[in-house]
Structure 1
Amino acid sequence: MFYPSKNQEAQEGESQWISISDLMSVLMMIFLFIAISYMINVVKERERIKEIAVAYNQLQDELYQDLHSEFENDLEKWNASIDRQTLSIKFESPEVLFEQGSDVLRNEFRTILMDFFPRYINILTSEKYIDDIEEIRIEGHTSSEWATNNYPQEAYIGNMKLSQDRTREVLAYVLLLDQVKDNRAWIKDKVTANGLSSSKLVITEEGEEDKDKSRRVEFRVRTNAEKRMVKILTGTE
């Protein structure tokens, strides 16, 4: 019977150790390659998000400037304002908008909308912005008041129906304006009516509800930059 010498056993053990060392080296190289690839992808993704964020801020700023330039001479007489962050144009005179508790447009508000909306749409459908507009929300807001002796939740639901009816009336009116007939298909695709009841009350510095300012109608623009960022983060783009 042949018995390997101690020298042979040592050589075989050393050979086996060298094979394991080589394997570990290969695995370390693979792991390092994966880690570097992951870091490169993370950096690329971060750069893409940064580019979109910069473009988004630039778009927001330019759109605000164009809206403000177009309407700056009208805002005071309409008792309206433009929010730079949300690109929301707020009409804040409840006595001009609707009769209390009614969804019928007052004549004064019809006149304002006839002047405002075609000019508003002309900006948003310009070559500069049309591909970046995701949605135009007509938002109806109310105070927390309702009929007397109602529970708060009943007042909220009642105001929800009222605010929704009002925004539908606004949308129906502006959609039929002759000045926007060429953009009517685009408006139907982009403009939505949203009744928000008293969910977004205006609160004073003293922490109390400003009932007059809470009763308002807003035209809010949403761009598609947020959607593109979500696609990047979820890997769907």
Structure 2
Amino acid sequence: MHYILAIIILVTSLYAKTKEFSIVVDEPFSNTLLDVTENYDRTISAVGFIKTQKSIVSKKGTTYTNAFDYLSSISNTHGSQIHLVKVDNQANITLRKSINLNNFNEAVSILKTPESGYYIGGYTLDGSLLILKLNSDGDIIFRKTFGTSNYDKMSNLILLKDGGVLAIGSSVTTRSRNDKLFESGLGLNDIYISRFSKDGIKLWSKKFGTEYDDKGIDATEANDGSIIVLSQTNHDKFKNISIMRLTENGDSIWLDHYRNEKLITPHKIIQLKDNNFVISLSQEDDMHKQQIRLMKFDIQKNILLDKIIHTTYASTLKDIKEYSDSKLIGVGYVSDTYNRDGLAMLLDSEFNMLQQEHFGEESYDEFSALTILHNSQAVAVGVHTDKDSQETNMWLVKLNKDISLAQTAPRATDFYKELCRVFKDEINSHKLIIKEDLSIMFIDKSLYFKTAQYKLTGKQEKFLKSFGEKLLPFLHVNKMLINTLEINGHTSSEWAGADFTNTYLLNEKLSMNRSFSTLAYMFKKQDIKTQNLLSNIIKGSGLNSSKRVILDEKEDREKSRRVSFKIILK
């Protein structure tokens, strides 16, 4: 197997120092991260649980006559508490907070709210279901505890289009006639689903299932407001899956069982951009090894594509997401007899595997969930185990779109210092200046354009050649950190003999021509490798006279006739 040590390690590039974006949070006992989301400020929040201990105050004057009474008095003093982790683009942990409740509990899902807070879905370890609404600092706004009188467990919490949430999981069969939901249960365990409004009001709760052991795994909302539910039925030695479609009020529209002689386990369901659905399954092969199976179907339960992804080692995708180009990314685990690694896999829309990577050490590592970020990177969370350790730790990893391990984004101030170092000679000779927003301004008089001109002079071409010989290697080395290289054309505000409309339009065309002539000259001078890089990041634009140079409250027309560069980081 291929191993990548997933600890934060410093990596030295030609110019900017970066590190691999992998965070391991080491706490006593076994801990894990189970879900992740991107915040509106581009930071990342993940939720899981850590093990904790409740302080016990002994009753004054209490005397125990035997060990069993004493042990009973201190029972339920150790357990899990929901834990929220927030991380910035430099892989710094900016917030860690345990949501300490009276009963021990675990989280399964984290969802963003419009107010930059979170919905957290989970359950208490004594069998109640939980929905928490938190603010951006992790403080509780409201808490909903619900479920049946028996033992319940949540599998997932789904955000709905109306701002409400849907909780899905399982409930032990009720045999009490005092239960308000059912007079008797359906089987050993039943699928349990509850819908809440955006204000936390429970709209309905329903049970579904067979006479056997059923469990709700995941759900997604279709465009028409109906709900597609993925569930599992255990019967003797077999695990089968069911797909069910419900109305928005929880009434059944259709139900389909998929029986298989081989053990099959469902993990995730998502809706695609084409309004069809994909479920991720794991299925045993003839060697009793887990293989990935993906199924695509439409809203009328017609199977469109059903494929097993054969891999050398036992593999499972516990979560999948779709990119804007219809490719799929999945995370989970890959294992052999002695080891388990975190698995990331990239597939095309026909479920053909394009790439896979394994992450971890020679022990137990696993991804549970992922989210795709605004810049097409992804973040996966799960557990990491240090070598020779028996305890799992919380683990968060950022991946590039090719599922390689991403680098941390440099701080803008650090990137600014590196860029100034690269162009130290040009700065000292007053050829250019660099601002902290990573914009580069030419200030040598020979680099300005003459009135109404956009074609480059010999001096401009000579300087751009030497400028590019320093800038482009810098961009290449730091390409995973850079989103855009802007080349902006500028003009002064006047245009002789023209009214405002024509002045604006003529200057706009002139500024675009200045940008294009600069872009074209630099692009043509590069080899094909550098051209490929530039084609992905370069952006030419004409800014007219909107950024004209002002000195002593007056426009400096000569200095306004220029081009400028700006680097925009991811």
Name the TM-score class by shorter chain. Answer: 0.5 to 0.7
Offset from partner CA, 1:109-139 (integer Å, 9 cap, x none): 100110011211111221xx32121110000
Structure 1 residue identity aligned to 2:452:
G
Structure 1 residue identity aligned to 2:535:
K
Change beyond 3 A, Cα 1:220–1:197: same
Which residue pairs with 2:559 in the alignment? 213
Which residue pairs with 1:140 in the alignment? 489
For residues 60-99 of structure 1, the aligned pairs below 5 Å read 60-77=412-429, 79-84=431-436, 86-93=437-444, 95-99=446-450
Which residue pairs with 1:20 in the alignment? none
Paired with 1:166 and 1:160, the residues of 2 have a C-alpha distance of: 10
Paired with 1:60 and 1:211, the residues of 2 have a C-alpha distance of: 31
Paired with 1:77 and 1:112, the residues of 2 have a C-alpha distance of: 13
1:37 maps to 2:132:
yes
1:150 maps to 2:498:
yes
Paired with 1:217 and 1:59, the residues of 2 have a C-alpha distance of: 26
Paired with 1:76 and 1:141, the residues of 2 have a C-alpha distance of: 24
Which residue pairs with 2:529 in the alignment? 182
Shift of 1:78: 5.7
Change beyond 3 A, Cα 1:121–1:93: same
The one of 547, 558, 561 equivalent to 1:200 is 547
Q: Does the CA contact (< 8 Å) of 1:138 and 1:167 recur in 2?
A: yes
Q: Does the CA contact (< 8 Å) of 2:464 and 2:522 recur in 1?
A: yes
Shift of 1:189: 1.3
Instruction: Flag the structure with higher strand content.
Output: 2
Paired with 1:171 and 1:96, the residues of 2 have a C-alpha distance of: 15
Structure 1 residue identity aligned to 2:492:
S
Which residue pairs with 2:303 in the alignment? none
Q: Does the CA contact (< 8 Å) of 2:449 and 2:561 recur in 1?
A: no
Sequence identity of aligned pairs in percent? 28
TM-score by length of 1: 0.66
Instruction: Flag the structure with higher helix content.
Output: 1
Change beyond 3 A, Cα 1:99–1:76: farther
Change beyond 3 A, Cα 1:94–1:36: farther
Q: Does the CA contact (< 8 Å) of 2:448 and 2:558 recur in 1?
A: no
Paired with 1:62 and 1:121, the residues of 2 have a C-alpha distance of: 18
Paired with 1:203 and 1:89, the residues of 2 have a C-alpha distance of: 17
Offset from partner CA, 1:161-220 (integer Å, 9 cap, x none): 011011111111001114x54311010111111111101122234x22222222221110
Q: Note the aligned Cα RMSD (angstroms).
A: 2.6
Q: Does the CA contact (< 8 Å) of 1:99 and 1:106 recur in 2?
A: no
Paired with 1:73 and 1:181, the residues of 2 have a C-alpha distance of: 28
Residue aligned with 1:200, SS: coil
Paired with 2:501 and 2:443, the residues of 1 have a C-alpha distance of: 25
1:161 maps to 2:512:
no
Shift of 1:88: 0.7
Structure 2 residue identity aligned to 1:174:
M
Q: Does the CA contact (< 8 Å) of 1:93 and 1:216 recur in 2?
A: no
For residues 107-122 of structure 1, the aligned pairs below 5 Å read 107-122=458-473
Residue aligned with 2:487, SS: strand
Shift of 1:76: 4.6
Change beyond 3 A, Cα 1:174–1:219: same
Residue aligned with 2:462, SS: helix
Give the number of aligned pairs: 175
Which residue pairs with 1:104 in the alignment? 455
Paired with 2:453 and 2:528, the residues of 1 have a C-alpha distance of: 28
Which residue pairs with 2:24 in the alignment? none
Q: Does the CA contact (< 8 Å) of 1:101 and 1:162 recur in 2?
A: yes
Higher Cα radius of gyration:
1
Paired with 1:97 and 1:204, the residues of 2 have a C-alpha distance of: 16
Change beyond 3 A, Cα 1:191–1:219: same
Q: Does the CA contact (< 8 Å) of 1:105 and 1:169 recur in 2?
A: yes
Q: Does the CA contact (< 8 Å) of 2:491 and 2:507 recur in 1?
A: yes
Q: Does the CA contact (< 8 Å) of 2:448 and 2:561 recur in 1?
A: no
Paired with 1:191 and 1:100, the residues of 2 have a C-alpha distance of: 26
Shift of 1:37: 2.2
Q: Does the CA contact (< 8 Å) of 2:493 and 2:557 recur in 1?
A: yes
Q: Does the CA contact (< 8 Å) of 1:171 and 1:193 recur in 2?
A: yes
Q: Does the CA contact (< 8 Å) of 2:456 and 2:517 recur in 1?
A: yes
Paired with 2:551 and 2:448, the residues of 1 have a C-alpha distance of: 22
Change beyond 3 A, Cα 1:161–1:37: same
Change beyond 3 A, Cα 1:78–1:168: farther
Gaps of 5+ in 1: 1-32, 45-54, 225-237
Shift of 1:75: 2.6
Paired with 2:430 and 2:464, the residues of 1 have a C-alpha distance of: 10
Residue aligned with 1:125, SS: helix
